[in-house]
């Protein structure tokens, strides 16, 4: 036979087959003898690899399952119902994406059922009471997340199942579930969200598979839960349902786990709410600055921009001249635009309800935008000057009633006719509520000149020159008096317009202060009552 193997006519592959045949020919009788004399019918390779009782049991059960298959339920009759106990152990809330409305959870999924084909006698295998088998080799229930929102094919991580000698199987794989969650942002950032996870068999109906809570515990297990920095768990109940769908005539069983969580609002209060309140309150400063002051136009640009750049960095590292537009109001408006960007980044793109905080933001933006127009109106009124006198009706209403209501009587008293008579003893501004510096009665000087002229002869040329000079001085003084009176009149009108502008400033201040306080109170009451 060795000569045949060394024959040059045989190819390499034929020689290999001949070598294998010779090897089996010599070793087969020895292996058969060993199998006949072995009490446990062990393999002839046991002398090379010594198998434990657990190894033999695993080989035996997996070989049996390979024969029966993993597709059918492990029951005696087709009409029998297999009972599955199911539970969820919450480990971590990974994320709640408000924009995509997707909840991501890290959980341990607890399955338990009985498999009649995976039982054995412990005494026959030297006290082996449990095995650890891969779930792909045995039958496992097809429990699926109904409201999933995931692109991944598999949600479970690989984990062995624990098989008891009685046939009870426990399978506890790790899983990351991404489920749909309807987001209600009506009270953002003090919102409370309710998300559900619906589990059930995808193919077995209630007459084939009975799905129950493990140990009767109808809620999430929170023993190993890691606290979230964003969300606080309020409650985590679960409910069992039997539902009939359009596709089928028989009921399906599902277990619906509900997670009620509330947002921790401290971070958002510092980033969104507090700057909003402070910025709106700073608009009140605009109505206290004198209209003629350049600071009414310029104040706060550097402060606001630096403040909100700081806020953006913090959020990213953790969620003058007259006639010009008021720069302070525009700076506040730009700061609010930055706030709106931060606000929009934390909300769904198409929410069913408008957040109350979003409404509050819009109101404040309207107030800030309107404050720019109102300040332009006040500045323009201040520099309106003597182009026209203040209308009598407006002057009467604003100086008599409104100024008295806002405790501004001292400001407008010099411009009121009654005040001129009552306050004659008080110091006056030049040309306002003061007596005329020049009398309109020139008869005294004329009479004196006539008396002198009667006593002196008309032939005196020297006296004639003196008379001409006196007449010239008299005309000059008359023109100078008229100019001073016109200047005093214009200054009085200018001051009346400035006083009127200050009264309007006080009106706008009271209106803004009332609006800010009332709107903030309504928002706070609405949020905390919800």
Mean pLDDT by 10 residues, the chain (530 residues): 51 64 61 53 52 89 89 90 94 89 93 93 91 93 90 80 94 93 82 92 91 91 91 94 83 94 82 76 76 59 48 45 40 58 59 71 78 78 70 79 78 62 39 43 48 54 79 83 78 80 85 89 77
Calculate the alpha carbon distances from 456 to 30, 449, 464 in Å. Answer: 177, 11, 11
8-state DSSP, 271: I
- Residue 456 Ramachandran class (φ > 0 left, ψ -120 to 50 alpha, else beta): beta
Beta carbons of 181 and 190 less than 8 angstroms apart: no
From CA 36, how far away is CA 97, in angstroms rounded?
A: 67
pLDDT computed for residue 31 by the predictor: 55
CATH number, span 53-263 = 2.70.170.10
SS3 232: strand
> What letters, b where the CB count within 10 A reaches 16 and e where it falls short, cover 454-488?
eeeeeeeeeeeeeeeeeeeeeeeeeeeeeeeeeeb
- pLDDT at position 199 is 95
Helices (H), 345-460: 356-382, 392-396, 403-405, 409-412, 417-422, 443-455
Task: Indicate the burial class of 423 (C-beta count within 10 angstroms; 0-12, 13-18, 19 or more).
Answer: middle
| SS3 letters across 451-468 | HHHHHCCCCCHHHHHHHH
Residue with the two structure tokens 């000079």: 469
| CA proximity to 129, closest of 117, 141, 138, 118 | 118
The Cα 262–Cα 265 span in angstroms is 9
Give the torsion sign (CA, 451, 455, 456, 457). Answer: positive
Report phi then psi at 233, rounded to 5: -80, 125
Domain ranges of the chain: 53-263, 267-321+329-404+408-414+511-528
Q: Tell me the two tokens of residue 19.
A: 């070598």
Q: Is 528 exposed, middle or buried (0-12, 13-18, 19+ CB in 10 A)?
A: exposed
Give just the sign of the alpha carbon dihedral 157, 159, 161, 162: negative
pTM over 0.85: no
Burial class (CB in 10 A: 0-12, 13-18, 19+), 508: buried
Q: Which residues contact 148 (CB under 8 A, 6 or more apart)?
A: 155, 177, 178, 179, 180
CB of 255 within 8 A of CB of 111? no
DSSP string, 471-513: HHHHHHHHHHHHHHHHHHHHHHHHHHHHHHHHHHHHHHHHHHH
CB 132 within 8 A of CB 71: no
The pLDDT assigned to 231 comes to 92
Q: Which of 435, 436, 429 is nearest to 491 (CA)?
A: 429
DSSP string, 56-87: HHHHHHHHHHHHH-SSS-S-SSTT--EEEEEE
Torsion of CA 461, 463, 469, 471, to 10 degrees: -110
């Amino acid at each position: 036979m060795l000569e045949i193997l060394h024959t040059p006519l045989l190819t390499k592959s034929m020689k290999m087959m001949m070598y294998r045949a010779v090897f089996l020919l010599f070793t087969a009788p020895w292996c058969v003898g060993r199998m006949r004399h072995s009490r446990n019918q062990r393999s002839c390779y046991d002398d090379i690899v010594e198998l434990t009782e657990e190894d033999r049991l695993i080989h035996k059960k997996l070989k049996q399952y390979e024969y029966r298959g993993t597709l059918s339920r492990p029951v005696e009759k087709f009409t029998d119902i297999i009972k599955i106990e199911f539970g969820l152990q919450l480990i971590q809330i990974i994320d709640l994406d408000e924009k995509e409305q997707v909840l991501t959870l890290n959980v341990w999924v607890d399955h338990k059922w009985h498999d009649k084909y995976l039982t054995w006698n412990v005494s026959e295998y030297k006290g082996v009471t449990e095995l650890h088998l891969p779930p792909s080799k045995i039958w496992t229930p097809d429990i699926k997340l109904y409201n999933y929102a995931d692109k991944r094919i598999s949600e479970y991580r690989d984990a062995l199942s624990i098989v008891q000698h009685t046939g009870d199987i426990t399978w506890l794989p790790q899983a990351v579930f991404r489920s749909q969650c309807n987001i209600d942002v009506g009270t953002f950032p003090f919102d409370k969200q309710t998300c559900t996870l619906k589990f059930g068999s995808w193919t077995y109906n209630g007459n084939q598979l009975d799905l129950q809570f493990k140990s009767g515990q109808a809620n999430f297990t929170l023993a190993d839960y890691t606290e979230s920095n964003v969300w606080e768990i309020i409650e985590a109940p679960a409910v069992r349902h039997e539902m009939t769908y359009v596709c089928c005539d028989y009921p399906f069983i599902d277990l619906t786990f509900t997670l009620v969580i509330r947002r921790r609002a401290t971070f958002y209060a510092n980033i969104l709410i507090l700057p909003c309140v402070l910025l709106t309150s700073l608009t009140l400063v605009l109505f206290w600055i004198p209209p003629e002051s350049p600071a009414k136009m310029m104040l706060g640009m550097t402060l606001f921009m630096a403040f909100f750049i700081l806020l953006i960095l913090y959020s990213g590292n953790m969620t003058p001249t007259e006639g010009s537009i008021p720069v302070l109001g525009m700076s506040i408006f730009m700061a609010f635009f930055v706030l709106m960007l931060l606000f929009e980044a934390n909300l769904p793109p198409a929410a069913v309800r408008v957040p109350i905080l979003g409404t509050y933001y819009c109101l404040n933006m309207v107030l800030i935008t309107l404050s720019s127009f109102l300040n332009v109106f006040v500045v323009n009124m201040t520099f309106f000057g003597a182009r026209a006198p203040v209308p009598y009706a407006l002057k009467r209403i604003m100086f008599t009633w409104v100024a008295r209501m806002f405790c501004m009587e001292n400001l407008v008293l010099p411009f009121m006719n009654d005040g001129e008579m009552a306050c004659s003893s008080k110091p006056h501004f030049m040309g306002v509520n003061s007596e005329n510096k020049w009398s309109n009665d020139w008869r005294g000087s004329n009479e004196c000149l006539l008396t002198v002229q009667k006593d002196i002869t008309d032939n005196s040329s020297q006296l004639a020159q003196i008379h001409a000079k006196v007449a010239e001085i008299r005309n000059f003084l008359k023109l100078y008096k008229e100019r001073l009176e016109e200047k005093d009149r214009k200054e009085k009108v200018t001051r009346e317009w400035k006083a009127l502008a200050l009264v309007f400033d006080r009106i706008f201040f009271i209106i803004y202060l009332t609006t800010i306080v009332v709107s903030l109170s309504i928002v706070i009451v609405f949020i905390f009552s919800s």
